[in-house]
Amino acid sequence: MAETAAVTGKSTAAKLGRKEEGAMLGVSKTSRYIAHAILILGVLIVAFPIYYTFVASTHSLQTILRPPLPLWPGDQFFANYYQAIFGGVRQTGGVGADLLLFNTTVMALGIAVGKIAISLLSAYAIVFFRFPGRMIFFWLIFITLMLPVEVRILPTYKVMVDLGLINTYAGLIIPLIASATATLLFRTFFLTIPGELVEAARVDGAGPWRFFKDILLPLSKTNLAALFVIMFIYGWTQYLWPLLITTSNDMNTIVIALRRMISFADAETQWHIVMVTAILAMLPPVAVVVFMQRWFVKGLVETEK
Amino acid sequence: MSPRVVFPNKVLPYVLLAPQLIIVAIFFYWPASQALYQSVLREDPFGLRTTFVGLRNFERVLADPNYINAVQNTAVFSVAVAFLAMAIALLLAVMADKIIKGKGFYRTMLIWPYAIAPAIAGMVWLFMFNPAMGTFAYMLRSSGYAWDPLLKGDQAMWLVIAAAAWKQISYNFLFFVAGLQAIPKTLIEAAAIDGAGETKRFWTIVFPLLAPTTFFLLVINTTYAFFDTFGIIHAVTGGGPGRATETLVYKVYHDGFVNLILGDSAAQSVILMVIVIALTAIQFRYVEKKVHYG
């Protein structure tokens, strides 16, 4: 039994380029079929809402308002997407999805790059230099883990108003780029770099900048990619912060705009456009997760330690 | 840690740390200290005079039936979300561990929701279960069930729980898969040779050995249910109907931004701060252990 499974398993394993050990002892063929069935059911539960959103985004409002909605995509794909991207809807104050996507992209990229940059520098300072107050600074950064926006919501808002950061990209990005997790991750990684490497670099006359640029950055490449994926998603899916910081429609992120398009229990909601906007809002982060899966999984498992 | 080779610069490290420290000081420590400070003050209704009231804001908040209601909602919501998201993910991870073909395919299909904003997850579920035109609402109604989450509190709660748990399955799945891979196969095969069936092997070997992962995920899922699901509640129910889905975080937002009650909102913030500190402390204590054992 184990052999047949190993033989059938081998070709796929080779194709996928992964090392498979073959079937585990004591797992019968029947229970593997059951396992497949349960997994397919799981995939259905997980993927169906997303698929159904897509289906809804290709039907006309009239079709959507007359439940049940068909299981297959309709013929309004181009009309709906055109209207959502270039038309703008009353509820979002005439702002098209193109601007919303642009805002969200700026925010997500700004947060991802910003978090990585300042955390990289902080961890570099803490690991490769000795100076008074080093550990105090480390703890000051670490403790911010315990101060999410929710626990300091009003005073933070007041700071934003005082600094004139409401409705600005800077306001959306800068307060979110402090990162205890990223600093911790880089610190842990830097501590694994052997001292000999630093010594050799110094003997060869490399200063801190040279060492950072030519040795440390190339070594951190995988960590950078992994962290980028996680932080990009973090930035893209922000809700409370843009809700507080943006009051004008043309500064909205796509998630917030989507919320403003829905009115409860009310036939006014342009559900077909809402569904298109939802798909557009999901697409970039889902694509990042699926196509950068390897770094995503690595980043996820490591940042949360 | 052995003494490291370091660079001798004296000023440079401060320059490197400056950007992060400035942000942390302005946007984290200053507002947090303000929240602490305001939690012991009371403003008169016109905002003209503030007086020191000690812990009276806390007493008021904790005696407020609406706050107790929010505490109960948060408890129900968090337990249900954590349990559902973890149970489904564990089942799927155990199944994925058994099969030989298609592991990569299933993983790719199961990780999508991680990338979806909680608020959007909520809206998608609201779309499917909206009493006006949601397909599933329609199906529930035609089968004779009086489904209306916009009017019935417990149904609204189930809707936000479903959306929140759905979104978290991906995350838990990936961690359970990693946890299962770390269990030595020889241990399980030895039990199989001794005649232990699959169910028995799961409960006597796999599940106990997964305990660290499960505990870790419990903390993470609780934090998620407390804080990250604000978007779901805000977008789907707005705390309603009639406060039935008002959680602690939603109430802080609502009292602070909509009702503008500074003292109470600050006191609630401070209570939340204590909860986060406890959760973080538990998480890091546990991580020390994990490092120790493995």
**Total domains, chain A:** 2
Which pLDDT band, with edges at 50, 70 and 90, does A4 fall under?
very low
Same-domain status, A183 and A251: yes
Amino acid A232: pLDDT = 92
Chain B (128-167) residues lying within 8 Å, Cβ to Cβ, of chain A: 128, 130-135, 137-139, 150, 166
d(CA A151, CA B275): 10
Same-domain status, A168 and A78: no
For residue A129, the SS3 value is strand
Domain final residue pick, A69, A90, A111:
A90
Cβ contact A67–B192 (<8 Å): no
Chain A (84-113) residues lying within 8 Å, Cβ to Cβ, of chain B: none
Of A36, A119, A267, the CB nearest to B20: A119
Instruction: Express each pLDDT in A231-279 by its tens digit.
Output: 999 999 999 899 888 888 888 888 888 888 876 555 677 788 888 888 9
Interval A66-81 mean pLDDT: 78
What single DSSP character describes residue A75? S
On the question of pLDDT at A155 being above 90, the answer is: no
- In this complex, is the C-beta atom of B250 within 8 Å of any C-beta atom belonging to chain A? no
Domain final residue pick, A90, A112, A136:
A90
Same-domain status, A170 and A293: yes
Strand partners, B52: B41
Contacts of A16 in chain B (CB under 8 A): 104
Same-domain status, A104 and A121: yes
Amino acid A12: pLDDT = 39
On the question of pLDDT at A197 being above 80, the answer is: yes
Q: For residue A79, what are the domain limits?
A: 27-90
- Name the minimum distance, in Å, from the CA of B2 to any CA of chain A: 9
Of the ranges A121-125, A226-230, B181-185, B263-267, the best mean pLDDT one: A121-125
Burial state string for A133-154 with b = 16 or more CB within 10 A and e = fewer than 16: eeeebbebbbbbbbbbbbbbbb
Which pLDDT band, with edges at 50, 70 and 90, does A107 fall under?
very high
Interval A175-190 mean pLDDT: 88
Amino acid B169: pLDDT = 93
**DSSP secondary structure letters along chain B:** -PPPP-B--SSHHHHHHHHHHHHHIIIIIHHHHHHHHHTTEEE-TTSS-EEE-TTHHHHHHHH-HHHHHHHHHHHHHHHHHHHHHHHHHHHHHHHHHH-SS-HHHHHHHHSGGGGS-HHHHHHHHHHHH-TTT-HHHHHHHHTT----TTT-HHHHHHHHHHHHHHHHHHHHHHHHHHHHHTS-HHHHHHHHHTT--HHHHIIIIIHHHTHHHHHHHHHHHHHIIIIITHHHHHHHTTT-STTTT--HHHHHHIIIIIS--HHHHHHHHHHHHHHHHHHHHHHHHHHHHHHHH-
What is this structure's pTM? 0.85
The token pair that represents A298 in the structure block: 């690595």
Amino acid B167: pLDDT = 92
In a domain, A5, yes or no: no
In a domain, A249, yes or no: yes
Cβ contact B115–A288 (<8 Å): yes
Amino acid A25: pLDDT = 63
Q: How many CB pairs under 8 A join A and B?
A: 336
Q: Which CATH number fits domain B64-293: 1.10.3720.10, 1.10.10.10, 3.40.50.620, 3.10.180.10?
A: 1.10.3720.10
CATH number of the domain where residue A209 is located: 1.10.3720.10
Same-domain status, A40 and A164: no
Please state the domain extents for chain B.
Answer: 64-293
Identify the closest residue of chain B to A12 by CA–CA distance.
B101
Dihedral angle over CA of A232, A88, B231, B173, nearest 10: -50
Which stretches in chain B have pLDDT values below 70? 1-5, 44-47, 286-294
Same-domain status, A65 and A186: no
Q: What residues contact B228, with CB distance under 8 A and at least 6 apart?
A: B118
| Mean pLDDT estimate for chain A | 81
Amino acid A270: pLDDT = 78
Chain A (17-76) residues lying within 8 Å, Cβ to Cβ, of chain B: 18, 20-27, 31-32, 34-36, 38-39, 42-43, 45-47, 49-50, 52-53, 56, 64-69
Amino acid B266: pLDDT = 84
- Name the minimum distance, in Å, from the CA of A67 to any CA of chain B: 5
Contacts of A286 in chain B (CB under 8 A): 112, 115-116
Which pLDDT band, with edges at 50, 70 and 90, does A94 fall under?
low
d(CA B285, CA B41): 35
In a domain, A14, yes or no: no
Interval A134-144 mean pLDDT: 89
